[in-house]
Structure 1
Amino acid sequence: MKVLFLTSYFVLLTSLVFCQTIKKVKVTEVEEYIKNSDHPIVLNCWATWCAPCVAEIPDFMATIKKYSDQKVELVLMSLDFASSYPNKILDLIKKRNFEATFLWLNETNADYFCPKIDPKWDGTLPSTLFVDPKTGYRQFFGRPMTDRQIELEVGRLVGLKK
């Protein structure tokens, strides 16, 4: 009985630790989330099929970790096709050990949702919005970023670098 209890306990604990969820959202929900945030957000738009997207996520995670005392939140918003939600996206997240807030944008009209994230966004992936509603800081990059560029921009986001 003890063995069964301990086995069940560890299975439950493991599933809780490794359980990732991807929230299905509309772009208006993303706008509200950003607007109502009390902390800086790095919103990275990506997809599992986009090699540059997947390649830069570890750099975002490492930089965000350095600024944990500033409460910067990394939000990875997947623009994967509906057929990939949630299983294919979750599989990649688990395989790569990605840590962030995960969203899946349930939208298909880029002419509608892109300008709501940023007026300059043409739908290119990866794209990243650095935003802090409290300070009014907002910077958008519609291209892949290097680790140094990410570090510099997060520093600006939190007001530590000019």
Structure 2
Amino acid sequence: MKLNVLIIAIFLMASSCEGKKKTAEVLKVDNDELVKKEIATTDFELEVYDYDGFSAFLEKKDNKVYVINFWATWCAPCVKELPYFEKLNAAYKNESVEVILVSLDFPHLYDKKLKPFIKEKKLISKVVALDDVDMNTWIPKVDKDWSGSIPATIIYKNDNSKFYEQSFTYEELEKELKQFLN
């Protein structure tokens, strides 16, 4: 019994130290074998920024390629293309590429809709929420030609950037990324 409690404690400590908070569910099987199953929880801290705080994500000059996608859970084309951003993140994680998913969901829905969505879809890319009601001020700061519609994406490396007000297939997204990988 003490060994089972120790194993459970070790699993819980190990899982809580990972980047996205996880909890461990330990199941006891008939033959006294223990099985661990990790499950994402909705009790993680969602990073929420106003535009001034968020703008730092658009200004990094560290020779890394940033793929920043503006989306929302209520936007069907956004949700449809999220797996492509996740696939891109996984495929290029060792090539100085960082994918950042910027949720434009309504703040009152973060706990009820956004966090459960992140859990359900098992999003690995960094997800932040942009909570700045003055869209007429910050949208043109992101890109002077942006109408404000989503999905929208910026890909940049240092001072070289390109803005896309469109949906992507994985092939289209990867093609655009490769222009920045020199």
TM-score by length of 1: 0.87
- Give the CA deviation at 1:142: 1.0
Give the equivalent residue in structure 1 for 2:12: 11
Give the equivalent residue in structure 2 for 1:35: 59
Alignment deviations for residues 116-148 of structure 1 (CA, whole Å, 9 cap, x no partner): 211111111111011112xx2211111211112
Give the equivalent residue in structure 2 for 1:139: 162
Whether the aligned pair in 2 keeps the contact of 1:41 and 1:75 (CA below 8 Å) is yes
Tell me the number of residue pairs that the alignment of Structure 1 and Structure 2 aligns: 157
Give the equivalent residue in structure 2 for 1:106: 131
Whether the aligned pair in 2 keeps the contact of 1:27 and 1:116 (CA below 8 Å) is no
From the superposition, tell whether residues 126 and 96 of structure 1 become closer, same or farther in structure 2 (CA, over 3 Å): same
From the superposition, tell whether residues 15 and 94 of structure 1 become closer, same or farther in structure 2 (CA, over 3 Å): farther
| Structure 1 counterpart of 2:5, one-letter code | L
In 2, the alpha carbon distance for the partners of 1:15 and 1:82 equals: 26
| Structure 1 counterpart of 2:165, one-letter code | G
Q: Work out whether 1:151 is the aligned partner of 2:174.
A: yes
Whether the aligned pair in 2 keeps the contact of 1:63 and 1:151 (CA below 8 Å) is yes
| Structure 2 counterpart of 1:29, one-letter code | G
Give the equivalent residue in structure 2 for 1:57: 82
Alignment deviations for residues 17-71 of structure 1 (CA, whole Å, 9 cap, x no partner): 4525421111122222331341111010011111111111111121232222321
| Structure 2 counterpart of 1:31, one-letter code | S
Give the equivalent residue in structure 2 for 1:47: 72
| Structure 2 counterpart of 1:11, one-letter code | L
Where structure 1 has 5 or more consecutive residues not aligned to the other structure, the ranges are none
Alignment deviations for residues 71-129 of structure 1 (CA, whole Å, 9 cap, x no partner): 11000010000111245212111111111111100111210121121111111111101
Identity percentage over the alignment?
Answer: 26
- Give the CA deviation at 1:11: 2.8
More helix per residue: 1 or 2?
Answer: 1
CA RMSD in angstroms, aligned pairs only: 1.8
Higher relative contact order, chain-length normalized (CA < 8 Å, sep 6+): 1
| Structure 1 counterpart of 2:115, one-letter code | L
In 2, the alpha carbon distance for the partners of 1:36 and 1:151 equals: 21
Could you list the structure 1 runs, at least 4 aligned residues long, displaced by more than 6 angstroms after superposition: none
Query: The residue matched to 2:129 in structure 1 has which SS?
Result: strand
In 2, the alpha carbon distance for the partners of 1:5 and 1:37 equals: 46
| Structure 1 counterpart of 2:167, one-letter code | P
Q: Work out whether 1:121 is the aligned partner of 2:146.
A: yes
**Radius of gyration: which is bigger?**
2
In 2, the alpha carbon distance for the partners of 1:57 and 1:89 equals: 14
